[in-house]
Chain A
């Protein structure tokens, strides 16, 4: 602020000096005027005084003559004596004044010039004898006639000359006054002239400066205008009040595809241009730019409008399909006073990028993705594939079990989104870009659905498709991984197949439990000395065991609260036991200490499915349990997000049948459920 004042002073220093000078001059003229009038007054007084000398001289002469005549006629002489005294005193005083003025000094008493002085001396000389001759007559009531005669003679003989001298002095003083007055006038005029010149100087200087700054401002404005008229980018300033600045680049309206006026609020424009979600993000972002102390790098990263697709509005709005917005903070006194917004049309780039991405995705990324597996920790990739598979199975299961109402659909979509989102994140972390891209595409499908409140079953068809696509991508990586593993195993020496299976199902159980927010302990009891199992049996085990374990965790074990209410430990237990019998048969059991299967519930479901009450009531417990294994039968338990026991049981039954194993189910409500697979000895 201080600096600015200083600068301002600097800029106008010249003007200030000129104005000061002008004032000083004016003041000088004023003072000089006062002085001049004083001088003229004094000069006038002197001239008067000089003029009076003549009168007094005349008066004195006349009074002397009267006195002599009265004395001769012996008349009273008092009045002529008094007249004489007055005239004498007046003459002496006037002469004294003149003499004083003649000798005077100082500002107010300009000395009389030499010829004036000379006249005065002559006057004095002429007056001297008269004064002396008259002196004895004063203060004397009976002057001597001889004295009077002497004074008369002197006065008469000198009066004419004296009067002449007084006249001369008067004239001289008048001349002097006139010439002095002329001089003073010249000085006055000169000073006023100077002041006027000064004034003119100020006016000119000032106007020139104003014109100059106007010209500069205009040229700056024109430059800005030129820039704003020619740039392809949309440029504008956004004020704290959310309004677009008065000046913006000419391209802006065509970029927005909307008519535009300076000072218009940006908000409704964005609303027209952007999808609701992005619009909201943009609002949040600008709020952040204006108000929060966030690191610039982070701000840049967070810009939600860096690449943005505009609403098409059924082709009503003309203009680009994609825009890029860049925001720069304009700071003033450490505060963000405005945002400089740059808008670029990136429709073409986006289209190119899309085309390129599609081509690349077709050509390269699948191979890349598969190769990327080799760089990763196989353990992690396996974990990911298993988790991904589990997630997709859960999604598919949820799809299969969903109830036909909009709320359930909406919940389902969210659940699917979470699953897919996790897969995408993990795939990205492991560099499996093909999978992550597929998941991304899936998300793109889900995002608009998440906003809708009128979902129907038809909307789920593309979702099921995407599940298939994603699963296929995972399977491909799985295949590569399996081959790599086989190679590694033959290199290292095959590890025990049981150990791997054990690890796998432990992991699976914990994963499913975690997804469902349950607490589960898994106990896997495999014989340390594994029997020689043929490849086929091992494959069957690998297929069935995860299904059974998943079922046990997902459907058998209750949620923590439910368990606590039922008086159980919060942590559920799933026990997997694999027992080779002496006769060569094998038994595999999976037992959970969960809620068991309630026949009442199966009955209720059968009634829901349209079976007659008589028939349902007549069914034995065994028959009821058997229903669980019929394809498509599912118990929709409304309390449970991943509802539907019996899900996948038909699958297990099929697999068991193919493997030639017997499948047994035993359960006690609120206590346990156990599935046992009995494998016959190989012939």
Chain B
């Protein structure tokens, strides 16, 4: 069946689930314990949720927008510890949140299309600023829990035909 190709298609749940899975597995691989999706909701505010450390990638191409992972210090410290790090400076934390964002980018390219243009991760602390997202729709927030900690993944993507 051939449907008229719309200029802007809706993002599919499966597209987002890919990112959620990536986060879940990342934690499982590093710490042996999966980060669990608590829920998903539409972002009502203009400012996306930020945490102590944030890692974000900007995507251009057939998909356009941003994917951002924000986590509290404690959670990332745990990850550093499990990786055998001895030092827990801000820079180390930014590193690790950047790596998670990088993992998201790699996964995005594999699943959403090799032709995607993805920026290197932009990391920032609570005091920093997010980059403006080139997407126009409503961002989707996916909160995670890992032990007592809470982190969020914000997916803000448009699909271009």
A contacting B, Cβ–Cβ less than 8 Å: yes
Q: Is the CB of A610 within 8 A of B41?
A: no
Q: Is the CB of A467 within 8 A of B13?
A: no
Chain A positions 435-472 with a Cβ under 8 Å from a chain B Cβ = 456-458, 460-465, 467-469, 471
CA–CA, A400 and B154, complex, Å? 13
Chain A positions 243-295 with a Cβ under 8 Å from a chain B Cβ = none
Give 1 or 0 for each of A71-112: 1 = CB within 8 Å of chain B CB: 000000000000000000000000000000000000000000
CA–CA, A396 and B140, complex, Å? 11
Q: Is the CB of A457 within 8 A of B45?
A: no
A174 within 8 A of B: no
Q: Is the CB of A457 within 8 A of B3?
A: no
Give min CB distance, A407 to chain B, whole Å: 14
Q: Is the CB of B40 within 8 A of A460?
A: yes
CA–CA, A462 and B4, complex, Å? 24
Q: Is the CB of A462 within 8 A of B49?
A: no
Say which residue of A461, A610, A650 sits within 8 Å of B17 (CB atoms): A461
B138 within 8 A of A: yes
Q: Is the CB of B3 within 8 A of A402?
A: no
Q: Is the CB of B140 within 8 A of A458?
A: no
Q: Is the CB of A396 within 8 A of B36?
A: no
CA–CA, A358 and B2, complex, Å? 11
A400-B39, A632-B49, A632-B152 known; A648+B44 contact, CB < 8 A: yes
A368 within 8 A of B: no
Q: Is the CB of A464 within 8 A of B1?
A: no
CA–CA, A404 and B38, complex, Å? 5
Query: In this complex, which of B4, B42, B74, B137 has the most chain A Cβ atoms within 10 angstroms of its Cβ?
Result: B42
CA–CA, A400 and B45, complex, Å? 13
CA–CA, A404 and B143, complex, Å? 10
Q: Is the CB of B152 within 8 A of A456?
A: no
Give 1 or 0 for each of A393-426: 1 = CB within 8 Å of chain B CB: 1001101101010000000000000000000000
CA–CA, A461 and B16, complex, Å? 8
Give min CB distance, B145 to chain A, whole Å: 6
B142 within 8 A of A: yes
CA–CA, A402 and B150, complex, Å? 13
Q: Is the CB of B49 within 8 A of A631?
A: yes
A355 within 8 A of B: yes
Q: Is the CB of B42 within 8 A of A402?
A: no
B88 within 8 A of A: no
Give 1 or 0 for each of A458-495: 1 = CB within 8 Å of chain B CB: 10111111011101000000000000000000000000
CA–CA, A304 and B140, complex, Å? 37
CA–CA, A469 and B140, complex, Å? 12
Query: In this complex, which of A359, A400, A609 has the most chain B Cβ atoms within 10 angstroms of its Cβ?
Result: A400
B72 within 8 A of A: yes
Give min CB distance, A365 to chain B, whole Å: 14
Give min CB distance, A577 to chain B, whole Å: 25
B20 within 8 A of A: yes
Which size class do B's interface residues fall under? 35 or more
Chain B positions 20-76 with a Cβ under 8 Å from a chain A Cβ = 20, 36-42, 44-51, 72, 74
B10 within 8 A of A: yes
Q: Is the CB of A467 within 8 A of B42?
A: yes
Closest to B1 in A: A355
Q: Is the CB of B42 within 8 A of A464?
A: yes
Give min CB distance, A550 to chain B, whole Å: 11
- Residues of chain A lying within 8 A (CB to CB) of residue B83: none
A501 within 8 A of B: no
CA–CA, A632 and B142, complex, Å? 12
Q: Is the CB of B3 within 8 A of A399?
A: no
Closest to B2 in A: A359
Chain A positions 620-679 with a Cβ under 8 Å from a chain B Cβ = 631-632, 648, 650-651, 654
A464-B42, A610-B148, A632-B152 known; A458+B1 contact, CB < 8 A: no
- Residues of chain B lying within 8 A (CB to CB) of residue A654: 45-47
CA–CA, A371 and B160, complex, Å? 28
Q: Is the CB of A469 within 8 A of B10?
A: yes
A38 within 8 A of B: no
A362 within 8 A of B: yes
CA–CA, A461 and B1, complex, Å? 28
B141 within 8 A of A: yes
Secondary structure at the A interface, as helix, strand, loop or mixed, is: helix
Give 1 or 0 for each of A349-388: 1 = CB within 8 Å of chain B CB: 0000001001100110000000000000000000000000
Give min CB distance, A56 to chain B, whole Å: 132
Q: Is the CB of A358 within 8 A of B42?
A: no
CA–CA, A104 and B45, complex, Å? 140
- Residues of chain B lying within 8 A (CB to CB) of residue A609: 150
Q: Is the CB of B38 within 8 A of A457?
A: yes
CA–CA, A359 and B148, complex, Å? 48
- Residues of chain A lying within 8 A (CB to CB) of residue B140: 461, 464-465, 468
CA–CA, A619 and B44, complex, Å? 28
CA–CA, A68 and B93, complex, Å? 183
Closest to B152 in A: A632
A461-B16, A462-B13 known; A468+B42 contact, CB < 8 A: yes
Q: Is the CB of B40 within 8 A of A457?
A: yes
Q: Is the CB of B3 within 8 A of A456?
A: no
CA–CA, A460 and B39, complex, Å? 6
CA–CA, A396 and B12, complex, Å? 18
CA–CA, A462 and B13, complex, Å? 5
Q: Is the CB of B41 within 8 A of A396?
A: yes
Q: Is the CB of A402 within 8 A of B39?
A: yes
Q: Is the CB of A458 within 8 A of B50?
A: no
Give min CB distance, B121 to chain A, whole Å: 21
CA–CA, A400 and B139, complex, Å? 13
A358-B3, A458-B20, A654-B47 known; A463+B40 contact, CB < 8 A: yes
CA–CA, A400 and B47, complex, Å? 16
CA–CA, A648 and B17, complex, Å? 26
- Residues of chain A lying within 8 A (CB to CB) of residue B150: 609, 632
Q: Is the CB of B41 within 8 A of A464?
A: yes
CA–CA, A471 and B4, complex, Å? 23
- Residues of chain B lying within 8 A (CB to CB) of residue A648: 44
- Residues of chain B lying within 8 A (CB to CB) of residue A650: 45, 47
A358-B3, A468-B137, A610-B72 known; A461+B13 contact, CB < 8 A: yes
Closest to B13 in A: A462
CA–CA, A629 and B37, complex, Å? 24
Q: Is the CB of A402 within 8 A of B10?
A: no
Say which residue of B17, B39, B45, B152 sits within 8 Å of A399 (CB atoms): B39
Give min CB distance, A494 to chain B, whole Å: 29
CA–CA, A137 and B43, complex, Å? 164
CA–CA, A461 and B153, complex, Å? 12
Closest to B11 in A: A465
- Residues of chain A lying within 8 A (CB to CB) of residue B138: 468, 471
Closest to B48 in A: A631
Say which residue of B37, B47, B142, B149 sits within 8 Å of A631 (CB atoms): B47
CA–CA, A397 and B142, complex, Å? 13
A393-B44, A464-B42, A631-B47 known; A457+B13 contact, CB < 8 A: no
- Residues of chain B lying within 8 A (CB to CB) of residue A397: 41
Q: Is the CB of A358 within 8 A of B13?
A: no
A458-B20, A469-B10 known; A400+B4 contact, CB < 8 A: no
Q: Is the CB of B42 within 8 A of A362?
A: no
Chain B positions 144-161 with a Cβ under 8 Å from a chain A Cβ = 145, 148-150, 152
Ordered by A's residue number, 8 sampled pairs between the chains whose C-beta atoms are within 8 Å are A359-B1, A396-B44, A400-B39, A457-B40, A461-B37, A465-B12, A467-B42, A468-B140
Please list the 10 inter-chain residue pairs (A to B) with the smallest Cβ-Cβ separation, ordered nearest first. A457-B37, A464-B40, A399-B41, A462-B13, A400-B41, A651-B45, A461-B40, A632-B49, A404-B38, A457-B38
Starting from the known contacts A461-B40, A465-B13, A631-B49, 6 additional A-B residue pairs (CB-CB under 8 Å) come to: A393-B44, A402-B38, A402-B39, A457-B37, A461-B16, A631-B50
